[in-house]
């Protein structure tokens, strides 16, 4: 039985973490599974196998560390991962996200597989401190035995912008566990406050609180729609790396627009008359999807947005930014994937809307973009025929991401065939 190591920063919070959770459980009876993380957070998604927490010196928050502590932290991580691979005689190590990928390649032993989960060129453009990453990707990534991407858009980005050899890359989409989502979505909301809140028409946003998610655009959409649709509420579920500084900024941004904000993680008094509700990380987002009116997805860039498919499986219509990469692939699979709409588009499985031009919250948003989004969301609030069409079509599209078929692709990869 082969020894397989999944290497990732942490085991909760986003799509990459959920993928490791799913894969560990799917293959626990065929491989000796180890999962190595280097975040000390106790929360995890469900997993199978042994979870190994790599302890590192200094703060995990890069902003709190100087250059020397950062360098020492990195060297310790390289040393400890190399030791771990040797101690457990790891046959295959699969890493997720860029720092983990680089460390995996620097400690290369036997089969080394990396997984790129986002459109890297867009991420580097949006975060100047990540410019150094471009050199590491160009230098190291072709050394991997295989590079897994969840979408064709990421595949094309790696070739065009980082000179990655096409033969190194394999596209394996994330799978959707329909049975599990159905079961979890029917669990009642956990308290009376949430039950009361979701009796309103909830515009739901699910995702980490980071600049890439473009959540501030949703504030403008909400503010425009509220006088027309008094029952609507905007609810955000999720958190992210280095969340606190950015979250404070985004809360302040909403308040400057005259919106009343509730933040459960700040122990705000529970008031259903607020406009925007930040509910933090939720281990079961599906019960919230099942109780919402629509999913609003204004990301500036993506990799493969699991959230869209999960919402569709829960019967939730989707309005999504036509950004790189993923939303068009899911909602308009028969279209030219490199095209991006300038007006809202009634696609086959949901509505695509022009994205923000960058991930800088202080940039003035073009009124035309807010207008397109407002009209698209308004349609799903009022046009029941359109809404019902997307509710019925969503689960049909989700079938294309069948668990068994996608796990077969991973099985071939792990077995080396």
pLDDT on residue 191: 93
Tokens of 168: 């190194």
CA gap 34, 18 in Å, rounded: 15
Residues 408 and 342 occupy one common structural domain: no
Q: Are strands 345-346 and 351-353 parallel, antiparallel or unpaired?
A: antiparallel
Residues 161 and 185 occupy one common structural domain: no
Residues 184 and 159 occupy one common structural domain: no
Domain limits at 9? 3-175+402-415
Residues 240 and 141 occupy one common structural domain: no
Omega prior to 325 cis, within 30 of 0: yes
**Which of the four pLDDT bands, split at 50, 70 and 90, describes residue 61?**
low
pLDDT on residue 269: 79
Residues 119 and 194 occupy one common structural domain: no
**Which of the four pLDDT bands, split at 50, 70 and 90, describes residue 41?**
confident
What share of the chain has pLDDT > 90, as a percent?
76
CATH of the domain at 116: 3.40.50.2000
Poorest-pLDDT segment among 98-102, 141-145, 360-364, 393-397? 360-364
- pLDDT digit string (tens) for 133-178? 899 999 999 999 999 999 999 999 999 999 999 999 999 999 999 9
Please state whether 138 falls in left (phi above 0), alpha (psi between -120 and 50) or beta. alpha
Residues 214 and 285 occupy one common structural domain: yes
Residues 170 and 192 occupy one common structural domain: no
The DSSP secondary structure of 202-267, one letter per residue, reads: EEEEES-SSGGG-HHHHHHHHHHHTTT-TTEEEEEE---TTHHHHHHHHHHHHHHTT--EEEGGGT
Average pLDDT score over residue span 262-283: 87
Residues 303 and 325 occupy one common structural domain: yes
Residues 55 and 161 occupy one common structural domain: yes
- pLDDT digit string (tens) for 337-347? 778 899 999 99
- pLDDT digit string (tens) for 186-201? 999 999 999 999 999 9
More confident residue, 283 or 330: 330
Q: What is the largest CA-CA distance in the chain?
A: 63
More confident residue, 365 or 363: 365
Residues 133 and 219 occupy one common structural domain: no
Task: Kindly report the pTM of this predicted structure.
Answer: 0.87
CA gap 335, 332 in Å, rounded: 6
Residues 64 and 199 occupy one common structural domain: no
- pLDDT digit string (tens) for 195-218? 999 999 999 999 989 888 999 999
**Which of the four pLDDT bands, split at 50, 70 and 90, describes residue 270?**
confident
Considering its fold, how many domains does the chain have in total?
Answer: 2
pLDDT on residue 62: 62
pLDDT on residue 13: 77
Q: Is 401 helix (H, G, I), strand (E, B) or coil?
A: helix
Residues 171 and 190 occupy one common structural domain: no
Task: Give the chain's length.
Answer: 417
pLDDT on residue 402: 87
Average pLDDT score over residue span 246-251: 90
């Amino acid at each position: 039985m082969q020894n397989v190591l999944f290497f990732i920063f942490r085991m909760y919070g986003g799509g990459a973490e959920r993928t490791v959770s799913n894969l560990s459980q799917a293959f626990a009876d065929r491989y000796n599974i180890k999962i190595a993380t280097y975040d000390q957070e106790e929360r995890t998604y469900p997993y199978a196998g042994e979870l190994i927490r790599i302890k590192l010196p200094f703060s995990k928050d890069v902003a709190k560390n100087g250059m020397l502590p950062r360098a020492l932290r990195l060297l310790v991580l390289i040393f400890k991962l190399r030791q771990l691979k040797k101690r457990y005689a790891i046959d295959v190590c699969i890493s997720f996200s860029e720092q983990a990928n680089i460390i995996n390649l620097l400690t290369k032993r036997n089969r080394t597989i990396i997984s790129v989960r986002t459109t890297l060129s867009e991420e580097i453009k949006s975060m100047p401190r990540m410019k150094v990453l471009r050199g590491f990707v160009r230098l190291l990534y072709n050394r991997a035995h295989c590079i897994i991407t969840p979408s064709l858009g990421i595949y094309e980005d790696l070739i065009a912008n980082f000179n990655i050899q096409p033969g190194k890359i394999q596209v394996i989409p994330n799978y959707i566990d329909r049975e599990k989502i159905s079961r979890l979505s029917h669990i009642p909301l956990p308290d009376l406050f949430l039950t009361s809140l979701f009796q309103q028409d909830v515009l739901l946003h699910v995702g980490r609180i980071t600049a890439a998610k473009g959540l501030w655009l949703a504030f403008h959409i909400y503010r425009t729609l509220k006088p027309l649709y008094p029952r609507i509420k905007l609810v955000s579920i999720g958190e992210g790396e280095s969340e606190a500084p950015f979250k404070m900024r985004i809360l302040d941004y909403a308040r400057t627009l005259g919106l009343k904000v509730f933040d459960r993680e700040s122990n705000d008094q529970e008031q259903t008359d607020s406009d925007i509700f930040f509910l933090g990380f939720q281990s079961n987002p599906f019960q919230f999807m099942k109780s919402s009116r629509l999913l609003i997805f204004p990301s500036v860039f993506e990799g493969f947005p699991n959230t869209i498919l999960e919402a569709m499986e829960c019967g939730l219509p989707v309005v999504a930014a036509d950004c790189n990469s993923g939303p068009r692939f899911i909602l308009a699979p028969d279209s030219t994937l490199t095209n991006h709409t300038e007006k809202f588009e009634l696609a086959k499985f949901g509505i695509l809307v022009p994205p923000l031009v960058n991930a800088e919250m202080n940039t003035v948003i073009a009124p035309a973009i807010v207008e397109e989004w407002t009209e698209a969301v308004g349609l799903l609030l009022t046009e029941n025929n359109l809404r019902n069409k997307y509710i019925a079509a969503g689960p049909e599209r989700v079938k294309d991401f069948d668990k068994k078929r996608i796990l077969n692709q991973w099985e071939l990869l792990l077995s080396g065939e």
